[in-house]
Chains A and B, each alone.
Chain A
């Protein structure tokens, strides 16, 4: 039984956000989209976010920097981060920045859903302990 989760999508391209939101909604999750770090932080501070999905390449900002900062900040470090990027070769730098997982664009939907489920499951079971 899938449990509903709140997923935060961080990408500056509105088309990608819309598409991800549609897919996640279809699978029964609820989604919020933001296009920069400030807004992301603000959402996190007032909502319980279960997972962050973010683009590695944002205009005006480096995704890996943002990921690093989120992982260093105690308020946000517990939220798993799934990063995506157009270059598969950047996986290492994403993981090095603290991302919990990586998926390359264009992504296989089932793949992404699988990863999302995994993280949601993880968070839920951690909570229930």
Chain B
């Protein structure tokens, strides 16, 4: 610059030649030229410009401006500058400005600049201010940068904003604060889907000024918006020129309208297009250079950042809101649930809780988030276990859980716990429902107590006091009465209908008596039956009541009731006894009468004389033959004493016999002569005994032997005239000679000669041997034995001979002659024979009749045509009495046993009435019990040969049947045993076969010698070994079942008993089962906690058996319920219920038997020995327990075992 100054022609200026310059000027110039800082000098009134190098840059394009007038050079800013210059020149004062804004045009455009400068007066040589010296620095960049920074700092406020709108608005405010760089603008938000941009915030303008379009359609670029569109499409800042608007634009900080606009796209990650565009007017006094552009970018980025933060925050908020919503819903639900329930997370913290729960457990305030265990540190350990199990997915419940509160008061709780699942299917925690049933339980217990009390009270004669209103509705009942009817004090009287406590048969009577008493103004006394509220039994009460009146109006009764049941009972019993006795007697009469008839019919056919006498020797039955012999009629003798009918019999043998028979002697006379009847009899007198072995009658049977006797007598006589013949046999000459009689007897012509051979030929062939023998004997013994022999006459007549003889011997002792007689005893013999036969028949008849009447093993019943019982014997009475209370005689068979209608028995009975004798074997009793009978139906005919009754004789053959059953069972058992052995060996060999197979396979694979190249892949080896292991397990189980069975059979089963918790064992067992059986869900219900004293292993085995059966036999189901509860008879029961194929009734009886395997679907049998249940039953029974099953085919089964509770 120094050179330039030197070379400049200063003579053209008012300064002149530099040689002539004033010293101060020269000094300033010299200083200036050596200073690095921009400086200049304005000299004189023309403000001649002299400056240094550094100042050159400030001049910009105005350089060179040496020697020019400052006011011309800087005419655009002369307002500000000139003013200051004037101060210097006129007041001789310096000026100082720190960052003065000067809009200068040094690069061809109006530029916003800032300068820090000072004007200093230069004194002239002549005094006064000759010139002005300036030192300046351009501050433009700094100022503008500061401004930028401030703008960005303003944008920090965006971080506090929580919504998109707020951000845009705040951004607008922040940008507004820099209205120099952004005189005005609009932020447009872009609707992606509709592709429309709409203003969302205004910078430096308000809506009404509408300088920018209000909505810009981004689908179609429109004239005037295409710059905007470009910014949208290219995601780049687009600068646009002012396209000459008619409307006046806001100018922001300046006095000049903007000439340029910028569209800055704002975009965030995840969006392909900008979400907003900042359209702003630019500083008219600045070029849109890089730093300006950078500012715009930074602003846009900042906005974008905050927007995206907000968006994600909002998304998060929305999501959270949704969860909160649903949580709120479920919380509301739980809160308002009528039951006490609470929902917990996996840490047992409250998620939500119902009001009832809060109230129930004395919780106040907000418990959400608090830990349940913190709130209840003394919670029962076993409940904690339940919670933890349910957290793993179990569902548990208890219908009656008992525990004692801290203060000792008892609580009964019904509860259910189950897990709840999040939307991802994981367990989020558990839900607990509880219901306090203490009151109910207490009530139950109270009732029990009151029962005790009642019983005590009832022992002292209870007298009730009661009152009624005019409608006979009870208004008061004293304690005693309340107790009797089992009413609570709190029960309102008008809610009970006392009439229902009165026996229906007495009700009408009672009402009418009371009514009468009320009308007639007098008290009443009556007896009625009242029902005991507790037992339901009716007791007799003595009821006394007095009507009350108020002003003549009936207002009700007041009275007392006294239990007189015992007294009444006694009266009743007496009455009954009398009736009973009378009936018995009548019955006996009837029976006797019937028996009479019965016997009569049978006996009437008899030729023999038969009569039955009672113990007073009255004739109660007599047959026709006897009547004929007595020459009398039935009606004349029936019921009359013997001596009345035949007084002549007094002191006779016959009468004496009768009396002896009445005393109990059985008498038999072979020959009895009745002087009264003048006949010979063979008779029997048989005492008849009833079921108590008391004699009630005597049966007298007499066979008229007179003819026989007389004929025997005749025989005797005849014998005297006897047909005897003589014979003479000369042994030496073998000459036989007969007398004439002999020839007669033998029917041989006397003119013919007879010899021994001829004689023999007439002897009956069957008797010849005997004849020979006897003759031999005669020779040998020299004596003759008499003997009988038959002969056959030439005419063919068979006769019986009685041969007598003598032997004649000579001196030497040899038999020389035999002679004797032969007697025809044919008739006699025949008579004898008949006698024997008759007495046999007689005996038979005796036996038959005795049996008939007194047989007590068979049931004998006689029914009439209406099927009413006419008579029954004791045995029948006993048997029928078991199923039918009350008198049987007179009742219809079908009333006593209605189930018999339609049976074979019924049919047989009807058939018998048609006249047929029916015998039916092996009839099972329809009247309960396992009895088998052989029924005989015998129709009884009257004189007109009509069937008037049927006699049913039933012989009990149960024993026979039972024996046959035993035999069958034994053989079945043998068959079963054989089947079992066959099946057992198959079952055992199956796993062994598997094991052997795998082992051999492995051996082969690892055997190098045989040269097998093929190796088994390790995976295959592993799976083989796993299979082997599994088979061994299977085998072990089978063997131990077999061992158990053996131990049971041989009685060597030993039980190791200990005290343990059945519930705990159940839990463990179920867990074990669940490890290997995942198809079924097993629910365990603990109604009841119990200990038992038993062999833990074995009971566990039983549980396993039940469970594996349940699994095995329910392949299509996936649920099994197990429960432990108290039984009605104070034992603990373990029950397994499955929903599988079920078991039909027939099989239910057999499944606990040995060797029985239940049938499955399509008649398949399942693997296993079939002895599991049998063993289970044995184990349980050896502990004093029981097993049982309930099931329906197709509907699942329920197996239960019970054990005694051990405290």
Cα–Cα distance between A110 and B1000 once the two chains are bound (Å): 8
Residue ID in chain B nearest A108 by CB atoms:
B1000
Residue ID in chain B nearest A60 by CB atoms:
B1164
B982 lies within 8 A of A16 (CB): no
Scan B990-1010; emit 1 where CB is below 8 A from any A CB, else 0: 111111111011001100000
A16 lies within 8 A of B993 (CB): yes
Among A22, A59, A108, the residue within 8 A (CB) of B998 is A22
Among A22, A87, A109, the residue within 8 A (CB) of B982 is A87
A15 lies within 8 A of B1001 (CB): no
A60 lies within 8 A of B991 (CB): no
Among B989, B1001, B1164, the residue within 8 A (CB) of A105 is B989
A19 lies within 8 A of B998 (CB): yes
Interface residue tally for chain B (C-beta within 8 Å): 32
A107 at the interface (CB under 8 A from B): yes
A44 at the interface (CB under 8 A from B): no
A20 at the interface (CB under 8 A from B): yes
B1165 at the interface (CB under 8 A from A): yes
B993 lies within 8 A of A107 (CB): yes
Cα–Cα distance between A19 and B986 once the two chains are bound (Å): 17
B997 lies within 8 A of A20 (CB): yes
Scan B1018-1041; emit 1 where CB is below 8 A from any A CB, else 0: 001001100100110010000000
- Interface hits, A53-90 → B, CB 8 Å: 57, 59-60, 86-87
With A15-B1030, A59-B1165 known as contacts, the answer to whether A105 contacts B982 (CB < 8 A) is no
Chain B contacts for A59, CB-based, 8 A: 1164-1167
Among B986, B996, B1014, the residue within 8 A (CB) of A26 is B1014
Scan A87-129; emit 1 where CB is below 8 A from any B CB, else 0: 1000000000000000001111110000000000000000000
A15 lies within 8 A of B990 (CB): yes
Cα–Cα distance between A19 and B992 once the two chains are bound (Å): 11
With A15-B1027, A86-B986 known as contacts, the answer to whether A106 contacts B993 (CB < 8 A) is yes
Chain A contacts for B1146, CB-based, 8 A: none
A106 lies within 8 A of B1165 (CB): no
With A87-B985, A109-B1000, A109-B1001 known as contacts, the answer to whether A19 contacts B1163 (CB < 8 A) is no
Chain B contacts for A105, CB-based, 8 A: 989-990, 992-993
Cα–Cα distance between A100 and B180 once the two chains are bound (Å): 110
Among B997, B1034, B1164, B1165, the residue within 8 A (CB) of A19 is B997
Chain B contacts for A15, CB-based, 8 A: 990-991, 994, 1027, 1030-1031, 1034
B989 lies within 8 A of A106 (CB): yes
Cα–Cα distance between A59 and B1162 once the two chains are bound (Å): 11
Among B997, B1030, B1166, the residue within 8 A (CB) of A106 is B997
Query: Would you give the shortest CB distance from A31 to chain B, in whole angstroms?
Result: 13
Residue ID in chain B nearest A26 by CB atoms:
B1001
A16 lies within 8 A of B994 (CB): yes
B997 lies within 8 A of A109 (CB): yes
Query: Would you give the shortest CB distance from A17 to chain B, in whole angstroms?
Result: 10
B1016 at the interface (CB under 8 A from A): yes
Query: Would you give the shortest CB distance from B165 to chain A, in whole angstroms?
Result: 70
Chain A contacts for B997, CB-based, 8 A: 19-20, 22-23, 106-107, 109
Cα–Cα distance between A15 and B994 once the two chains are bound (Å): 7
Scan A3-24; emit 1 where CB is below 8 A from any B CB, else 0: 0000000000101101110110
Among A20, A22, A57, the residue within 8 A (CB) of B986 is A57
Query: Would you give the shortest CB distance from B1112 to chain A, in whole angstroms?
Result: 13
**Which one of A106, A109, A110 has the greatest number of beta carbons of chain B within 10 Å?**
A106
Chain A contacts for B1000, CB-based, 8 A: 23, 108-110
Cα–Cα distance between A57 and B1004 once the two chains are bound (Å): 28
Cα–Cα distance between A19 and B1028 once the two chains are bound (Å): 9
Among B985, B995, B1005, B1014, the residue within 8 A (CB) of A86 is B985
Chain A contacts for B1024, CB-based, 8 A: 22
Cα–Cα distance between A19 and B1034 once the two chains are bound (Å): 15
Chain A contacts for B990, CB-based, 8 A: 13, 15-16, 86, 105
**Which one of B1016, B1024, B1166 has the greatest number of beta carbons of chain A within 10 Å?**
B1024
Cα–Cα distance between A60 and B991 once the two chains are bound (Å): 20
B1005 lies within 8 A of A26 (CB): yes
Chain A contacts for B982, CB-based, 8 A: 87
Chain A contacts for B993, CB-based, 8 A: 16, 19, 105-107
**Which one of A13, A18, A26, A87 has the greatest number of beta carbons of chain B within 10 Å?**
A26
B1163 lies within 8 A of A60 (CB): yes
Cα–Cα distance between A97 and B106 once the two chains are bound (Å): 124
B1001 lies within 8 A of A106 (CB): no
Query: Would you give the shortest CB distance from A34 to chain B, in whole angstroms?
Result: 14
Scan B88-99; emit 1 where CB is below 8 A from any A CB, else 0: 000000000000
Chain A contacts for B1164, CB-based, 8 A: 59-60
B1001 lies within 8 A of A22 (CB): yes
B994 lies within 8 A of A19 (CB): yes
A22 lies within 8 A of B985 (CB): no
A19 lies within 8 A of B1027 (CB): yes
Cα–Cα distance between A124 and B997 once the two chains are bound (Å): 26
Residue ID in chain A nearest B1030 by CB atoms:
A15
Chain B contacts for A57, CB-based, 8 A: 986
Chain B contacts for A108, CB-based, 8 A: 996, 1000
Among B989, B1014, B1020, B1030, the residue within 8 A (CB) of A22 is B1020
Chain B contacts for A107, CB-based, 8 A: 993, 996-997
With A19-B1027, A109-B1000 known as contacts, the answer to whether A13 contacts B989 (CB < 8 A) is no
Cα–Cα distance between A106 and B985 once the two chains are bound (Å): 11
Chain B contacts for A13, CB-based, 8 A: 990, 1167
Query: Would you give the shortest CB distance from A90 to chain B, in whole angstroms?
Result: 10
Cα–Cα distance between A44 and B1165 once the two chains are bound (Å): 26
Query: Would you give the shortest CB distance from A69 to chain B, in whole angstroms?
Result: 18
Chain B contacts for A86, CB-based, 8 A: 985-986, 989-990
Cα–Cα distance between A22 and B1004 once the two chains are bound (Å): 13
Cα–Cα distance between A83 and B119 once the two chains are bound (Å): 128
A106 lies within 8 A of B992 (CB): yes
Chain B contacts for A23, CB-based, 8 A: 997, 1000-1001
Query: Would you give the shortest CB distance from B1015 to chain A, in whole angstroms?
Result: 10
Chain B contacts for A20, CB-based, 8 A: 997
Cα–Cα distance between A13 and B1165 once the two chains are bound (Å): 12
Cα–Cα distance between A124 and B1027 once the two chains are bound (Å): 33
Query: Would you give the shortest CB distance from A99 to chain B, in whole angstroms?
Result: 18
Cα–Cα distance between A16 and B1016 once the two chains are bound (Å): 19
Cα–Cα distance between A15 and B992 once the two chains are bound (Å): 11
Query: Would you give the shortest CB distance from A18 to chain B, in whole angstroms?
Result: 7
Cα–Cα distance between A105 and B990 once the two chains are bound (Å): 7
**Which one of B1030, B1034, B1162, B1167 has the greatest number of beta carbons of chain A within 10 Å?**
B1167
Can you report 28 A-B residue pairs in the complex whose CB atoms are below 8 A from each other? Answer: A13-B1167, A15-B991, A15-B1030, A15-B1031, A15-B1034, A16-B993, A22-B997, A22-B1001, A22-B1020, A22-B1024, A23-B1001, A26-B1004, A26-B1005, A26-B1014, A86-B985, A86-B989, A87-B982, A105-B993, A106-B989, A106-B993, A107-B993, A107-B996, A107-B997, A108-B996, A108-B1000, A109-B1000, A109-B1004, A110-B1004
Query: What 7 pairs between A and B have smallest CB-CB spacing?
Result: A109-B1000, A106-B993, A86-B989, A106-B996, A19-B997, A105-B993, A19-B994
